Amino acid sequence: MMSDLSATDRDVSRETSERLSALEGLLRKWNPAVNLVSKESLKDARTRHIVDSQQLYTLAPRDFHRWVDLGSGGGFPGLVVAILAAEQNPEAEVILVESDQRKAAFLQQAARALGVKATVHAERIETLSPMKADVLSARALAALPALCRFAERHLEPGGVAIFPKGANHQAEIAEAQQSHDFSVSVLPSVTDKDAAILVLKKIKAR
């Protein structure tokens, strides 16, 4: 894992690397009170959460205008996206959706502390007004059929959805294809040999 981390860190500026480290510090500070991520995963937070989120950014169009992260939780990938966009795509809009009020409060305070642009919506995904995202992400939120329904509502027709998934990703794809048509690229995860990143386009209910 360390080789992946080192390679990822070389791709960003010192300021961005410092912000990512600051995010890890905020996560460790807040987690005992708010339970942002599992205690076990906190032991290797840099790889499990930060590098795992960074890889999603590399799969998105470089010139995206609005990235919407559903169920942002502890800020993964949403806050990581906001940090990377501050350097690489500063005009972009990053929106984090998190219905848990305490987690949403963390996201707002963390964005301010990190000095990055991120709008937080403390609302349920199902009732949120359509977000018109050209990039949509969700990490450890729901099964793929539900994510496709969310994408129908919040993703622009020409947009791309990026969903990291675990070892059962092929079964989730097959299940989602029962209710939706879409094109999908299955890419290997740099942080988990059994996991994959699903990049979906042209999502439409059957």
Q: So what CATH class is 2-205? A: alpha beta
144-154 vs 169-176: helix crossing angle, rounded to 10 = 60
Q: What is the pLDDT along the chain (206 residues), one digit of tens a residue?
A: 333 443 455 578 999 999 999 999 999 999 999 989 888 877 878 888 999 999 999 999 999 999 999 999 999 999 999 999 999 999 999 999 999 999 999 999 999 999 999 999 999 999 999 999 999 999 989 999 999 999 999 999 999 999 999 999 999 999 999 999 999 999 999 999 999 999 999 999 99
Q: Which residues are annotated as a binding site for S-adenosyl-L-methionine?
A: 71, 76, 125-126, 139
User: Which helix (DSSP H) or strand (DSSP E) does residue 28 occupy?
Assistant: helix 14-34
**pLDDT value, residue 5:** 41
User: Which helix (DSSP H) or strand (DSSP E) does residue 8 occupy?
Assistant: helix 2-10
Every domain of the chain and the residues it spans: 2-205
Q: Which residues are annotated as a binding site?
A: 71, 76, 125-126, 139
pTM (predicted TM-score): 0.92
Please give the order of strands across the beta sheet that includes 155-165.
119-121, 93-97, 66-70, 133-138, 155-165, 196-205, 180-188
